[in-house]
Amino acid sequence: MVDWTDAEKSTISAVWGKVDINEVGPLALARVLIVYPWTQRYFGSFGDVSTPAAIMGNPKVAAHGKVVCGALDKAVKNMGNILATYKSLSETHANKLFVDPENFRVLADVLTIVVAAKFGASFTPEIQATWQKFMKVVVAAMGSRYF
């Protein structure tokens, strides 16, 4: 389905290896909720998300950020088979959580920005290209069970 060169696979693993899921997950999800406030529609039970400070300090947001990044870890470890790996997650988001798949694109863009901020200039254009290819595949897999 998706062709990964050896260079791409090792780039993704190297980038992901330097990412602390427990740090980046919360940062990325908080940023999504702040930059795209309508995404808060999915998190009514999370408590106070009324200000950026409240969102950044919200423990449920942080916990869920870690869950989301944890799922990305599965994709990194199954790069040859992301579509199958995410089949049931996609179904859950479509049929139980009713999440607009546009949100996967939004999260992918914000995650790219958070990773860029962590890495600085070492997040070169070439690494960004490979990382965004990976994000594109993940987003497509997450959207694959929406009918």
Partner 1 sequence: MSLTAKDKKMVKAFWAKVAGKAEDIGCDALSRMLVVYPQTKTYFSHWKDLSPGSAPVRKHGGTIMGGIGLAVASIDDISAGLLALSELHAFQLRVDPANFKILSHNILVVLAVMFPNEFNPEAHVAMDKFLAAVGRALSEKYR
Q: Which is nearer to partner 1, 34 or 138 (CB)?
A: 34
Q: Which is nearer to partner 1, 50 or 95 (CB)?
A: 50
CB 113 within 8 A of CB 31: yes
Helices (H), the chain: 6-17, 21-35, 52-57, 59-77, 82-85, 87-95, 102-119, 125-143
Find the shortest distance in angstroms from Cβ 20 to partner 1.
15
Find the shortest distance in angstroms from Cβ 8 to partner 1.
13
Find the shortest distance in angstroms from Cβ 138 to partner 1.
16
Residues in the site for partner 1, rule: CB under 8 A? 30-31, 34-35, 52, 55-56, 109, 112-114, 116-121, 123-126, 128-129, 132
Question: For residue 98, which phi and psi values (nearest 5 degrees)?
Answer: 55, 50
Q: Which is nearer to partner 1, 95 or 122 (CB)?
A: 122
Please enumerate in sequence order all residues whose Cβ is within 8 A of that of 59, keeping only pairs 6 or more positions apart, or say none: none
